[in-house]
Amino acid sequence: MKALILIDVQNDFMEGGALEVPQGAAIIPLINRLQTHFDCIVATQDWHPATHKSFASNHRGKKPFEKILLQGLEQTLWPNHCVQGSWGAAFHPSLETNRIEAIFRKGMDPERDSYSGFYDNGHQKSIGLAGYLHEKKRDELYFCGLAADICVYFTIQDALQEGFKCWLIEDATRPLIQEHFKRIKNNLLKQGVHIITSKDVAEKA
């Protein structure tokens, strides 16, 4: 059985947001239409405390997009984004949310970043998404949202490790850096991820 996974469709990743993904808002109408083809829809939400160690502002002398070691892992330092309770952390107002049956918030531990909707970056803590989907007997996952080369990618990587079959709906996602996504896309294909379009979903339904 299938499920649609909406990754971080939040204001801070849209045009004008703190960590803008180019053309991010363009995917929202597609995501809204996609939801009509699924009876199980789950969303993830970046939900950082203001003290989060992935924010450049919390490291003296550091600037956004510099890299450091955090908990033994390479960490990109980001602009402050998706701070808990802020406008930037909210879902985009054009996103239809009535069909979303569960929301999994990630990145809440100030000491660890969490790109994936399944685990933190060090795989020390489960977000709970895998258990939820297994309990629902949803073994075919369709992914969309932001950003394709970061949170969408790492969520798919963990989904594969958890034994799920994965589809990436390419026109319903956007990368932060296009060149990164080209390399990542080839990697996903090699791992058996199906890369499709929203039209394919509609025709399959």
Q: What CATH number is given to the structural domain containing 126?
A: 3.40.50.850
In a domain, 65, yes or no: no
Give the model's pLDDT for residue 153: 97
pTM: 0.96
Rounded-to-integer distance, Cα 197 and Cα 59, Å = 40
In a domain, 78, yes or no: no
In a domain, 54, yes or no: no
Nearest of 133, 164, 171, 135 to residue 33 by alpha carbon: 171
In a domain, 75, yes or no: no
Residue ranges in the chain whose pLDDT is less than 70: 205
Rounded-to-integer distance, Cα 117 and Cα 97, Å = 18
DSSP state of 118: S
DSSP state of 116: S
In a domain, 136, yes or no: yes
In a domain, 79, yes or no: no
Which amino acids are annotated catalytic? 8, 106, 151
Structural domain total, the chain: 1
Give the model's pLDDT for residue 160: 98
Give the model's pLDDT for residue 205: 65
Residue ranges making up the domain that contains 190: 2-49+91-204
In a domain, 68, yes or no: no
In a domain, 69, yes or no: no
| Whole-Å CA distances, 20 to 142, 176, 201 | 23, 8, 27
